[in-house]
Each structure stands twice: as C-alpha cells, then as structure tokens.
Chain A
C-alpha cells in the first residue's frame, strides 16, 4: 500500500467514529504524496465501535474541476450526510492539485493521475476504515476519472454517473428531430423564450464555445463499443450502475430509454438504471432539484443487498415512462420504479 494515511483534527482511533454530534465528520489527508485532502462522514445510525456493525461501505466523491470537494451548492456535503444516515460512510475529496489537495510531483498525464487519486482514496478507506465496497459518484468531467476505476477495481460495487458518457442512438434522433415538434408544450416554451429574449436583448445567449450542451461533445469519450464492453464487464461482476442526466444534457440524452439503446444486448436489461431530471440544470442549482437527486440516490443505494449476503441485488426495472415534469415528481417516480428483481 503506497498510502501513508493519517487523519487530522481531534485524535481518534482510525476505526472509531469521533465523539461529535451527528453526523460525525473528519478531515483526512492521504495518498502516496500525502497531499490528497478530504472529509469522511461516518455512518450515523451505526456505531462504528460495534463489532457487529454491518457494512463497511462507502460512497466516494471527488471534486469537479474548480469546484472543490464540497461540490457545487454543497451537493457532495449534503449527499454525504444523506448516505451516512443510511449507514454508509462517505468520502469527498479533491484530486491532486485541485481544491484543497496538493499537486503530485512527476509527469503523469492528468487522467492517469486522477485515476490514481481515486484508487488511493479506495486504498485509504480499506486500510483505515475496513471499507471494501464502494460506490463512486462522478459528475460530468468527474466521470472521466471514476469510470475507469469502476471498470477495473473489484471494490467498486456501484457507480452513479451524472451527465457522463452518452451516445446518440436512432431513438435519440427520432425523439430529437421528430417527436419533439409534435409537442405543443415545447412550442409554447420556444415562443415564450424567444419573446423574452427579444424584450431583453442584453441577455445574450451563451457563446457557442461555452455552451455546456456543446461541451459534452468536446470531451474525450471512450468509443461506443469500448463503453459497451466496459459497462458489460462491470455489471458482469455484479456492480450496479446508475446513469443520471439533467435537462442541460437533453441535446445529447433525451430519454431514460437511451442508455439501454446505447448498451444494446451487451448489457442485460435491469442491470443498469437511467434517470433523467429534465428540469434540473447541470449542477442541480435549485434546492428542490438537489433534494430530488438525493432521494433518487438514496433509493438506489437502498437496493444493495446487505453486506455479506448472497441475495440478489435489488435492481431497477427499465423505466416505463419518461420522468414526470418536475424533479420532485421524478423522485416519487423512482420509488415506484425500483423493485426487487
């Protein structure tokens, strides 16, 4: 193990929850260069000192670009505390050189470096907390470092990828270029938007180069064949995947059916799940949208069988319909969609 882990703050044994009120959190520094900085949230309903305490499982989140490990709008803080209330550990941390973490010396390519950072986070969790099962959470470019680790590391039992990789399909094109024009609601919104912009010319559209809907096509994706093969390999070892897309990405992902269309027969139905939050923007900037996202993740995590059991995982059926019109409604719909396989 390359890590030389240590915790900072009030001294506490590494496997015991600190004596603070709920939720207990601790700042940690880890990694081969002792420069990765993060915060561990301890499971609140489980006493970490209880030998019979179950599952040493964790949700792991890394910073997104210049938004450090707190996450945009405290997304990762609130998610960490939400999953801790379900009995999971959570680790949010900064990749090297970003947020609060120190840069690494050496000339590793940034993608490789980020993957090494994620692996060292998993090493730290295993060495210090006995966590051997993790769920990775990646958002947008954060998916680039999480996806390869999810594919290759057997400790990863699941992953939640938000606005990650997607590919146009025949269904996508049909929905985008045909069906959308038959929806009166879209026309109403289009006209309202045009009139509003005409009335306020100072509010310009985002320059093409900065348009996140364009940016999605500028990221370096794996090829579709590679993506299919990697997802197939990941689910074949029993891991579960949840693909979440926001309305910001509707130019590239426009139906919950699309992921199944992308994956085709390479991945058995029911082994991956896709959710769309059509009203939410890329960073879930509305409080209600974040709440719906947390609820979605909570319900999805609840589908994991108890640690150490041989029970089949609870997986989601393929969604029967597009998510309702509000993100709050989407959360409710998820509850209905998650069933025991």
Chain B
C-alpha cells in the first residue's frame, strides 16, 4: 500500500496504490489490468473509504494492481470542497488511470465506480479514456433521485437537531459539504439511461437491489449493444444502508465479482444485459 500525490502541479491528487501480489494462478489478462477505484461523492465518501481500502487490498491479494484516489476538493487532494465538478472529477479519473499505467506498467484499465463515482467513471469513459472494463457499483442512475435522497437525509437530520430552527444549512450546503448551485445543476442533469458512456470494452453493473432504475439502465445499455451484465448482489440492505465495508459484502461478493469479471475473456460477456444473481 503506497500513498502518493500525483497529477498536475497545483491540482495534486492523493491516491493509494496497492500493488498486485504474486498470487499463483493469476491469468495474464488480470496481471495486465489495473483497477482505478472511483469514490462516491463527498456526502458518501466517508462511508466508502474503509470499503475501498478493503476492496483494494482484496483485489491486490488476487493479483490485480489497484489505485484508489481522491478527486479534487475531496479527501486529501488539493482544492477546497467547493472546487469540485463532475467534469473536473472525470478529468481526475483520467489522470489516475495514467498514473496507474505509469506506476504498475499495466496496459488495460478497469474503472470501478461506486454511487456517484459510477457516473464519474462513465463520464471519464465518455470523454475518451480507453477502458477495458467499466464496473458500476450501486450507480446513481438519475441525479434528481440522488439529490432528493440526500436532501431528505439532511432534512431528517436537521429535524432531530437541538437547534433546527436556526441550524438550517445554507442553501449551498448539503450534509456537511458545500453544494454549489452549479454542482447541484450538474448532478441533477445526470441520467445514465440516456447519456453516453463512451466505448468501454464491457460493463458490469453491480446493483444492491432490483430497483427499477437499474432495470432501465440495463435496458439502455442493451439498446446500445454494449457488452454488459447487471448483477444483483445479496445483502442489499447492508449496501443500501451505506455499510459498503460489511464483512459479508467484502468476503462473499464484491471483490470476487469484480475479479471474475476482469478475468473473463473479452467476448465472454454478451452484448445486452444479462441479469444474474450473486
């Protein structure tokens, strides 16, 4: 596990590189693949950090090079919390992919994006990043629904506060972080069912439940003849509660599903959504 800053001067990104272990029986395809983990948005970042540390470690133990990193204005990376934008963060994903290629010498890049991180990973693809595998874990399919969920969470949190009447957050603040009008508009416009995801070699959607948004997304991918697979993962309630680092998810499901997907021959995933249950 090697922490490091990388990227352009004045806009340095913090990342932790997990080199692949020399695990036996790892295919050449996996060894050539580097995985970039894309965090969720700031409001869900804290819950995801430990999950990503565990996921990165388990993938590295399985012979995969992994880089997890913070976008500009989040975590340890440069910038204030108000500096972020989806466009900026998609650029950061591209910088992270370059960094992993340089450090690990990998030729293939896979992106794993959780929640809003899935949108950012898809945007990086759409912006031209060559990606062999795009893994979208609990993706935010529609930005309006995502924002409504965060707004509701903030509302219920404030209701239970001691000083709710004068503790209302500023209009540009959401669950403790700045949420500028520009950022809100940008997220509100997200709709993965209609927007381009670039040309990833194949797409894996890991869905915590069988919510209708995932079905719509899978249908959209099918219509675009993208090689994709939608997987419903057990213990959905754990994932929905934000406990992405739960022992169950980590031990049984997520790392194995991702590793197996990366290891499969390129054509083993058919064009069109295949619903499978893990």
Contact = CB atoms under 8 A, between A and B. Distances in A.
Interface of A: 8-10, 19-21, 25-29, 37, 39, 66-70, 72-74, 77-78, 99-100, 102, 189, 192-193, 196, 200, 203, 205-206, 247, 279, 281, 283, 285-288, 326
B163 A73 contact: no
Given A20-B12, A21-B78, A25-B14, 17 more contacts: A25-B76, A25-B78, A29-B2, A37-B3, A70-B76, A73-B177, A78-B81, A99-B49, A100-B16, A100-B53, A189-B165, A192-B165, A193-B164, A200-B159, A203-B156, A285-B175, A286-B169
B21 to A, nearest CB: 14
The dominant DSSP class at the B interface is: loop
Contacts of A20: 5, 9-10, 12
B170 interface: yes
5 contacts: A19-B9, A25-B5, A27-B14, A73-B177, A189-B163
A29 B1 CA distance: 10
A210 to B, nearest CB: 12
B224 interface: no
Nearest to B161: A281
Most B CB contacts (10 A, CB to CB) among A102, A189, A205 go to: A189
Interface string B147-174: 0000000001001111111110110010
Given A20-B12, A77-B75, A37 B1 contact: yes
B75 A10 contact: no
Nearest to B163: A279
A99 B5 CA distance: 17
B154 to A, nearest CB: 10
A9 B176 contact: no
A196 B159 contact: yes
A56 B70 CA distance: 29
Contact of A287 (B49, B161, B162, B178): B178
A16 to B, nearest CB: 15
B18 to A, nearest CB: 11
Contacts of B165: 189, 192
A8 B162 contact: no
Nearest to A200: B159
Contacts of B163: 189, 247, 279
A241 B162 CA distance: 28
Nearest to B17: A8
Most A CB contacts (10 A, CB to CB) among B3, B4, B159, B160 go to: B3
B212 to A, nearest CB: 24
A26 B156 CA distance: 39
A102 B165 CA distance: 44
Contact of A247 (B53, B162, B178): B162
B159 A203 contact: yes
Contact of B173 (A193, A283, A286): A286
Nearest to B157: A285
